[in-house]
């Protein structure tokens, strides 16, 4: 079976629709055909300041949402990144193979460090993509389901795998990014020139755990344009095209069918229907998440079992890597 690895940051109290359509739905479908490792990346979360109690809570809520979406702990290893110390152990070795200039070219680092203010961004934010490479390579993953914004990090991961293999002998599988068609980049509802993100004002971001009325209101208030035709034209009609992409991804109807369906109606009808499709799709996820959070001890058991399974694989990779780079075997 091919191996799959992916991760998500526990930096908000709910995932958003971009996370869901860009990545998490693929996490669920890939379980059928692959041996999957899915982690809540709390080590990555502290590259920006986090309140400890909030981080702990968000980590648990994240795990509950992943189960609610359909990650099956009987099939896949679901775990918390900090529970598997091998990620950090491998990360150090990879850091020593990463060029300073190479890391400086990562666009997410440039964006985030700029937001933090020059000179105040942490070294952890700088080495973030190398830890991500370690997350992936430590499981010898073949495929990594992610949204479009992770493409550059995946390229770095591939480069590091090839570089290590070239220098020390064949060790790592070189992974490929699995980026979905159509929903790889869901846009913010208020600023449809930007990707949907929790770091923009919440009015433009559909959180999975929002109340249905809140979700419907956000969609009703989505920015469109001054035209009237419901057509898919991402260049000139980013907002309308984004709503069509969301509808299509959730309803399974093709964009062409939707354009035909809305041929005689306006933006108001489109928004009304998108709101219905979204709230209906998210209702069961929200309900199941709440049920799972009623039993945190059970969640913790699932995560402990996932970490144990992950460590079996990860520890073998780290042992091989440490041997190859020339570390003396511990007695
Ligand atoms: P994160 O936590 O920001 O996002 C989780 C996943 O959601 C995708 N995504 C989107 N997809 C479509 N449209 C959007 N607006 C949108 N916003 C987010 C992301 O592409 C991602 O797949 N660096 C990663 C976490 C990570 C990771 C890993 C991923 C750490 N280690 C190893 C894969 C493999 C991140 O910050 O994702």
The mean pLDDT values, 10 residues at a time, for the chain of 331 residues are 98 96 98 98 97 98 98 98 98 98 95 86 96 98 97 98 98 97 95 96 97 98 95 97 98 97 96 98 98 98 98 98 97 83
Give 151 Cα–ligand 1 centroid separation in angstroms: 10
Provide the pLDDT for residue 78: 98
DSSP 99: -
Q: What is the pTM of this model?
A: 0.97
N residues, the chain: 331
Task: Please indicate whether residue 195, judged by its CB atom, sits closer than 6 Å to ligand 1.
Answer: yes
ipTM score here?
A: 0.99
Pocket mutation for ligand 1, best pick of 5, 7, 59 (most atoms within 8 Å of C-beta) = 7
Provide the pLDDT for residue 99: 98
C-alpha to C-alpha distance for 191 and 169, rounded to whole angstroms: 47
Provide the pLDDT for residue 331: 83
Provide the pLDDT for residue 119: 82
C-alpha to C-alpha distance for 223 and 233, rounded to whole angstroms: 15
Provide the pLDDT for residue 116: 87
- Sheet harboring 176-178: ordered strands across? 77-80, 35-40, 3-8, 143-145, 176-178
Find all residues with CB under 8 Å of 48, minimum gap 6, and list them. 11, 112, 116, 122, 125
Give 94 Cα–ligand 1 centroid separation in angstroms: 21
Provide the pLDDT for residue 275: 98
Task: Please indicate whether residue 188, judged by its CB atom, sits closer than 6 Å to ligand 1.
Answer: no
Positions annotated as catalytic residues are 112, 195, 198
Provide the pLDDT for residue 117: 82
Give 38 Cα–ligand 1 centroid separation in angstroms: 12
Provide the pLDDT for residue 248: 98
Do residues 137 and 162 lie in contact, with contact meaning Cβ atoms separated by under 8 Å? no
Provide the pLDDT for residue 196: 98
């Amino acid at each position: 079976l091919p191996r799959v690895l992916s991760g998500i940051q526990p930096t908000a109290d709910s995932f958003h629709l971009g996370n869901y359509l860009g990545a998490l739905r693929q996490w669920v479908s890939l379980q059928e055909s692959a041996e999957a490792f899915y982690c809540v990346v709390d080590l990555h979360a502290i590259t920006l300041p986090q309140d400890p109690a909030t981080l702990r809570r968000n980590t648990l809520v994240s795990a509950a949402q992943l189960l609610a979406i359909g990650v099956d702990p009987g099939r896949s290893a679901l775990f918390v990144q900090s529970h598997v110390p091998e990620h950090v152990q491998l990360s150090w070795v990879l850091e020593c193979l990463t060029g300073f200039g190479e890391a400086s070219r990562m666009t997410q680092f440039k964006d985030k460090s700029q937001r933090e203010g020059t000179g105040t961004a942490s070294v952890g934010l700088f080495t973030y993509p190398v830890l991500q490479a370690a997350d992936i390579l430590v499981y010898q993953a073949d495929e990594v389901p992610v949204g479009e914004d992770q493409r550059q990090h995946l390229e770095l991961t591939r480069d590091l795998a090839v570089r290590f293999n070239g220098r020390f002998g064949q060790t790592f599988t070189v992974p490929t990014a699995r980026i979905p068609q159509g929903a790889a980049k869901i846009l913010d509802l208020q600023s449809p020139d930007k990707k949907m993100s929790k770091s923009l004002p919440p009015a433009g971001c559909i959180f999975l755990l929002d109340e249905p009325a809140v979700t419907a209101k956000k969609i009703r208030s989505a920015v469109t344009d001054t035209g009237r035709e419901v057509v898919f034209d991402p260049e000139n009609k980013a907002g309308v095209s984004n709503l069509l992409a969301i509808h299509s991804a959730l309803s399974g109807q093709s964009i062409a069918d939707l354009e035909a369906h809305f041929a005689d109606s306006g933006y108001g009808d489109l928004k009304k229907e998108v709101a219905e499709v979204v709230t209906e799709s998210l209702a069961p996820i929200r309900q199941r998440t709440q049920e799972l959070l009623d039993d945190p001890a059970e969640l913790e058991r699932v995560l402990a079992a996932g970490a144990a399974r992950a460590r079996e694989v990860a520890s073998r990779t780290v042992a091989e890597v440490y041997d190859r780079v020339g570390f003396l075997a511990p007695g």
